[in-house]
Each structure stands twice: as C-alpha cells, then as structure tokens.
C-alpha cells in the first residue's frame, strides 16, 4: 500500500474541466478521492436559469465516471456574508474590488477547507493553476502554475499559509492544453466545456444590469480634470480607472478613458488617449497586507516584483513599510491604471510572497 492509498482528498469540484482532471489525477495517484460541489449562489441568471444546478449535474457525471463519492455543500450564507456584501460595500464607495481573491480566502480555502476536514480529509485539492513548494525548513510556498497564461497565484495570495500545508494543486504542473487532452482521453463530461468567466460563483453577466439590482443608480457628470463636462454617467460604481468602454462620449479626437473618480461629487473624470499622463503613477500605497509565510513579510525595505492586475507581467519594485500595516510600493517604471481596492501581489521568481489591497495611487 502506497502512502497515497492511506490518504483521503476532498476535491473542490466546480463542474469545470480543471477540477475534473484534478480529481482524475489524484485517483490515479492512489488517493481516496471525494468530490465536493459548493453551492454559493441561488439567484437566477439573465435567462432565468440557476447556473449551479447545471454545474452540479456535470460534477455528478464526472464523479460517477471516476467512481468516486460526491457531495454538495451549501455555502450561500457564507458567500453572501463573507464575499458579496463586501463586494457591494466597495462598489457603493466607488471602489473596484476583486471578489475572486476574497472568495478564495473566505470560501474555497476556509469554509470548504473546514468542511473537508469534517469529512475526514487529509487534504483539500482544487483545480487552480498554481503549485505548492516547500522550503528547507518545511514551510509551504505558493508557486506560480507552469502555464504562464493560466497561472492563478494572483488570486490566491491571501489564503492562510498554514492551510496551504494541506492543499494539493494537481493541474498546476500542467499546461491548459494538456488538461484538455487528458479530459478528452478519459472521456470526461467536461472535456470541451468552456472556462468559467465573470464574478466568482455568479458567472458572466451584463455587469451594469447585475449591479443595478443591488445599487441605486446615481447619474452624474463625466468631467475632464479641468472641470469641463463632457457627458453623463449612471453612477461612479460602474466605472474603473483605465476603462474605455461604456462611457459613450463621442466627438473628435482620441477615445476617452476614465482617469479618476470623485465619489463625494459623484463625478467620473475622463481624458482622451490611452496613454494620457494622468493614467500613470510610479508608486502606490497599500494596506491589509497578507503574507503566505507564517513569519510574515521579508525585512523591509526589500526589492521584488509585483503586479496590480491578473494579466499583467511582473514589474520591478521596492516595498517600504510606512506605518503600521501601510506599505509604499515604488515601481521602476510608471504603472498604468492603478485602481483603488484592487490587489497588488508580490513575487520573487516563481514564489508568490503575498499581497495587499491598494489604498491609493501615488503617495497619499
């Protein structure tokens, strides 16, 4: 009997191809595998359908084919209280939050992790494109996935480092194309299924219409930085720094981009040109830092790389502690469209060190 034969793994299964292949690989490695589907959202989508029902049907099909037990757990209240209410609060304040990061911290790697332990699991596994490493001292590391186009470490920087000790990421060593190929070879029901998009656990929606169900529209002015009114908006909550689409501002010259917001005045500032100087800053301040290592952050100041959005290349920077939990992040090159309440995530090579919530552009 191998070590794996004596270990039980709960796989968080979403009904997608990545978690399906994660379950398959773990069973092949000899683990006792349990599939667990999370129901986190009960509202109907724009077509009057409950997306979670069809997702669970796919989970059942995959688990039956793999001959592993499966369960559905209800985290609707946990998701609403721990993620969605925070999401709405941030938008009401005119910020641009990232619900996927909070969702991973509060639901997948807290509520689901605790539920897996209740079921007697030694490990929790997910279909994330990241890897877990170990230091010489036995401390867990969060590493980038080997597929640079799918690496999801940006979204996982806030999970508890101790929880990471008991988490497996079976597809983190693979390219997405390899995952699709494996799913097709074994005839998994999710082999050709498109990747999920949109808000974590809610899915792809017309964002303005969706947000409008929960936030009252507050029309106001689009203004240039010099105070010229150039159009009307539906509310500052619907716009983020660097946004082009949705302004509907016509006229001659280059396209208009959102460069700032004044929530108190209900004004969205816009300027023309994708490279307008007001879109760029060479530093930011951040709070609510979270570090993977139980030891906390490296000794400051320290140099590393960082990214302020998921699809961005790593950027050279220096991090200095200002006061308390506040950090000053100074970049070697000016960064475009730094958005308040998004996350800045720190790296040394393939190691994700942690991250923080952006408090302000520039030095506040």
Mean pLDDT, rounded, of the chain: 89
pLDDT per residue as tens digits for the range 87-126: 888 888 888 888 889 889 999 999 999 999 999 999 999 9
What does the pLDDT read at residue 212? 72
What does the pLDDT read at residue 291? 95
CB 242 within 8 A of CB 249: no
Mean pLDDT calculated for residue range 301-321: 95
Angle in degrees, CA 330, 341, 151, rounded to 5:
75
* 103 catalytic residue (yes or no): yes
Residue with tokens 């190929």: 181
What does the pLDDT read at residue 76? 85
Q: Can you give the C-alpha Rg of the chain in angstroms?
A: 22
Residue with tokens 């793999």: 66
* Residue 291: DSSP 8-state: E
Catalytic residue among 50, 63, 103, 283: 103
Give every CB contact of residue 47 below 8 A, 6+ residues apart in sequence. none
Show the DSSP H helices in 166-228 as ranges: 176-185, 207-212
CB 353 within 8 A of CB 291: yes
Catalytic residue among 63, 200, 304, 317: 200
Identify the band that residue 204 occupies on the pLDDT scale cut at 50, 70 and 90. low
Task: Answer with the residue of higher pLDDT: 271 or 210.
Answer: 271
What does the pLDDT read at residue 84? 84
194-208, 240-254, 287-301: the lowest-pLDDT one? 194-208
Report CA torsion sign: 12, 17, 18, 20.
positive
pLDDT higher than threshold 70 for residue 200: no
What does the pLDDT read at residue 283? 97
pLDDT higher than threshold 50 for residue 181: yes
pLDDT per residue as tens digits for the range 30-68: 999 999 998 876 654 544 454 667 888 999 999 999 999
What does the pLDDT read at residue 3? 54
What does the pLDDT read at residue 197? 53
Give every CB contact of residue 264 below 8 A, 6+ residues apart in sequence. none
- Residue 132: in which H helix or E strand, if any? strand 130-134
pLDDT higher than threshold 50 for residue 294: yes
Residue with tokens 């001292």: 137
């Amino acid at each position: 009997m191998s070590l794996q034969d004596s270990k039980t793994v709960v796989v968080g299964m979403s009904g997608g191809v990545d978690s399906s292949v994660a379950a398959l690989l773990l069973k092949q490695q000899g683990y006792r595998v349990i599939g667990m589907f999370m129901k986190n959202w009960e509202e109907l989508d724009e077509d009057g359908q409950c997306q979670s029902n069809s997702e669970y049907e796919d989970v059942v099909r995959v688990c039956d084919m793999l001959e592993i037990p499966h369960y559905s757990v209800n985290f609707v209240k946990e998701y609403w209280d721990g993620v969605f209410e925070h999401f709405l609060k941030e938008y009401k304040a005119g910020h641009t939050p990232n619900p996927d990061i909070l969702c991973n911290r509060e639901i997948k790697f807290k509520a689901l992790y605790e539920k897996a332990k209740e079921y007697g699991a030694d490990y929790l596994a997910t279909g994330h494109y990241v890897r877990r490493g170990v230091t010489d001292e036995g401390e867990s590391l969060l590493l980038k996935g080997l597929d640079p186009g799918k690496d999801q470490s940006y979204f996982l920087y806030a999970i508890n480092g101790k929880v990471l000790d008991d988490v497996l990421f079976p597809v983190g060593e693979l390219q997405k194309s390899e995952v699709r190929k494996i799913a097709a070879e074994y005839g998994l029901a999710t082999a050709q299924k498109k990747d999920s998009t949109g808000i974590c656990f809610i899915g792809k929606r017309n964002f303005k219409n969706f947000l409008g169900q929960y936030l009252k529209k507050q029309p106001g002015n689009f203004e240039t930085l010099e105070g010229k009114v150039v159009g009307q908006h539906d509310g500052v909550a619907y716009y983020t720094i660097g946004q082009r689409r949705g302004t509907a501002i016509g006229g001659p010259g280059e396209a208009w981009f959102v460069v700032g917001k004044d929530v108190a005045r209900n004004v969205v500032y816009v300027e023309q040109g994708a490279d307008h100087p007001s879109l760029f800053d060479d530093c930011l301040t951040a709070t609510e830092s979270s570090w993977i290592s139980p030891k906390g952050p490296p000794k400051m100041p320290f140099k590393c790389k960082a990214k302020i959005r998921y699809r961005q290349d790593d950027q050279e920077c220096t991090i200095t502690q200002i006061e308390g939990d506040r950090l000053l992040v100074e970049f070697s090159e000016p960064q475009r469209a730094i958005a308040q309440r998004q996350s800045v995530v720190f790296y040394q090579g393939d190691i994700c060190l942690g991250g923080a919530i952006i408090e302000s552009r520039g030095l506040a």
